[in-house]
Amino acid sequence: MSEARDEILARVRGALARDPATLTARRQAVAQMIATPQAGPRPQPRGDLAARFAERSLSMSSTVDRLATRADVPAAVARYLAANSLPGTGVCWPELADLDWQSAGLVLAGRPAGGDDLLGITGTFCAIAETGTLMLLSGPQTAATTSLLPETHIAVVPASRIVSDMEAAFALLRSERGSLPRAVNFVSGPSRTGDIEQTIVLGAHGPYRVHLLILDNE
C-alpha cells in the first residue's frame, strides 16, 4: 500500500503548506540536526558518580553492594542469595562464566536465560548516575533475556563505566560502537506495576529483584 504512503505524505505536505522549492533545504537541515545531536538542559551530576549511582539505584528499589574487583563477585553473589534465601543456580553472560562460581557454592551456566531460570547475572555496557540506570546492549554474548526472564537479576557494574547521564551514555555508545545494537535496554530497578488501585507492586513480568555489584577498582 505505497498508495497510502503517498497519500499520507501528500496530506502532511498539503497541511504544512511549505513551499515545495524549500524541500531540498529542509532535507539538508534535518540531516544536519541528526548529524549534530544537541544535549538538552539536565542536572549533570559530577564528582563521585558511583556514590550517586548507588543512591539512585536504591531509590529505584534496586539493592547495591560495593566490591573491589571482579574476583570478589562470586562470594558477593553467594552472600546475597543466602541472605534472601534464593537458590544458587542460574545463568550468566559468557563474559562472566570464567569466574570461580564453584568455590562460592554456585552453579552458573554461561548461556541465555530461558523461562524457568530463576537467576540471571549480567554485566553492563555502562551505568547512569542521574537515575540509577543500567544500559544493556543486546548481542551474541549479551542476551537480553538474562536481565528479563529470571526472578532475580544481578548486574556487575565497574565504577569506571558509570557516566553522568543518558546523553553521556549515548556519546559513549556512538564512540565505542558507532551504531545501535538491536536492543538497548535501560534498566532501573525491578519490574513493577501500579495497575491495581495504584498500589506499587515490585515484580510484574520481569525480575522481582535487581542487585547491583559495583566494582570500585575497575
Partner 1 sequence: MRQQSMHFAARVGERLADVKLQANLKTAKGKFVDMRAAAVRAFDADAKACAAAAGQADAIDFEAVRDAAQAIRSKVIDDLDVWLETFEAKATAGGATVLWARNGAEVCAHTLEIARRHGLQKAIKSKSMLSEEADLNAALEAGGVQPVETDLGEYILQIAGNEAPSHIIAPVIHKNLDEVADLFSRTHKKPRQTDIPALTREAREALREHFLSADMGISGGNFLIAESGGVALVTNEGNGRMVTTLPKVHVVITGIEKVVPTLDDVATLLRVLTRSATGQSISNYVSLLTGVKGEGDPDGPEHLYFILVDNGRSTLLDDDFRDMLRCIRCGACMNHCPVYQTVGGHAYGWVYPGPMGSVLTPMFTGLERALDLPQASTLCNQCGSVCPVRIPLSQLLRTLRERQTTRGLRPWSERLGGKAWAWLAMRPAFYARAARLLSRYLGWLAGGEDRIRVLGLAPAWTLGRDLPAPQGGTFRDRYAARRRNTQ
Of residues 145-184, which lie at the interface with partner 1 (CB under 8 A)? 145, 148, 165-167, 170, 179-184
> Of 121, 117, 50, which is closest to residue 80 (Cα–Cα)?
121
Interaction of residue 191 with partner 1, rule CB under 8 A = yes
Question: Helix, strand, or coil here: 56?
Answer: helix
Instruction: Candidates 56-64, 95-103, 117-125, 155-163: pick the segment binding partner 1 (CB under 8 A).
Output: 56-64
Q: Which listed residue (102, 176, 201, 216) binds partner 1 by CB under 8 A?
A: 201
CB 73 within 8 A of CB 67: yes
CB 63 within 8 A of CB 83: no
* Subset of 14-53 contacting partner 1 (CB under 8 A): 15-16, 18, 23, 26-27, 29-31, 33-34, 37-47
Output the smallest distance, CB 57 to partner 1, in A: 11
b/e code 131-161 from CB counts within 10 Å (16+ = b):
bbbbbbbeeeebbbbbbbbbbbbbbbbbbeb
**Count of residues that interact with partner 1, criterion CB under 8 A:** 78
